[in-house]
Chains A and B, each alone.
Chain A
Amino acid sequence: MSILGSYNDWIFVILLMIGLYGVIARHNLVKKVISLAIFQTAIFLLFISMGVRTGGVAPIIQDDPSITYASPLVQVLILTAIVVSLSVFAVALAIIVNIRRAYGTIEADEIVLIDDRQEEAGEGTP
Chain B
Amino acid sequence: MIEAHLPVLVVVVLLLGAIVTVLGGGGRGSWLVALAAVATSFFLALRLLEKVVSDGSVRELLGDWPAPWGIELHVDLLGAIIITLVTGVGLVTTFYSYRSVRHEIAADRVNLFYSLWLLAITGMVGICVTGDVFNIYVLLEVSSLAMYSLVAMGKDRDRRALPAAFNYLVLGSIAASFILIGIGYLYMLTGTLNIDDLHQRLSQLPQNRTLETAFAFLMVGLSIKVALFPLHLWLPEAYSRAPTAVAALLSATATKVGIYITFRFVFSVFGTDTGFLGVSNSTILLTCAALAIVFGSLSAARQKSLSRILAYSSVAQIGYIVLGLALLEKNAVEGALLHTVFHALMKGGLFMVAGIYIYRLGSNDLDRLRGIGRKMPWTSAALVAGGLGMIGVPGTAGFISKLYLLRGTIASGEWLLTAAILLGSIFAAIYVWRVLEIVYLQKATDDREIKEAPLELLIPTWTLLGLSIAVGLHSSWVVELLEGAAAAMLGGNG
Contacts and interface: CB of A to CB of B under 8 A. Distances in A.
Interface residues of B, number: 31
Contact of B163 (A74, A81, A99, A125): A99
B297 to A, nearest CB: 24
B440 interface: no
A84 B166 contact: no
Contacts of B181: 43, 46
A96 B149 CA distance: 12
B158 interface: yes
A47 B163 contact: no
Contact of A88 (B134, B138, B169): B169
A103 interface: yes
B180 A36 contact: no
Contacts, number: 80
Contact of B184 (A23, A50, A94): A50
A7 to B, nearest CB: 17
Contacts of B145: 87-88, 91
Range class of the A interface residue count: 35 or more
Interface stretch (B28-36, B170-178, B309-317, B417-425): B170-178
Interface in A51-102: 74, 77, 80-81, 84-85, 87-88, 91-92, 94-96, 98-99, 102
B51 interface: no
Nearest to A12: B181
A20 interface: yes
A116 to B, nearest CB: 11
A99 B162 contact: yes
Contact of B158 (A84, A91, A126): A126
A92 B138 CA distance: 18
Contacts of B159: 102-103
Given A46-B181, A95-B152, A88 B162 contact: no
B187 interface: yes
Contacts of A29: 166
Interface of B: 134, 137-138, 141, 145, 148-149, 152, 155, 157-160, 162-163, 165-166, 169-170, 173-174, 176-177, 180-181, 184, 187-188, 362-363, 365
19 contacts: A36-B174, A81-B137, A81-B180, A84-B138, A92-B173, A94-B149, A95-B152, A95-B165, A95-B166, A96-B166, A98-B162, A99-B162, A102-B162, A103-B159, A103-B162, A112-B163, A124-B365, A125-B158, A126-B157
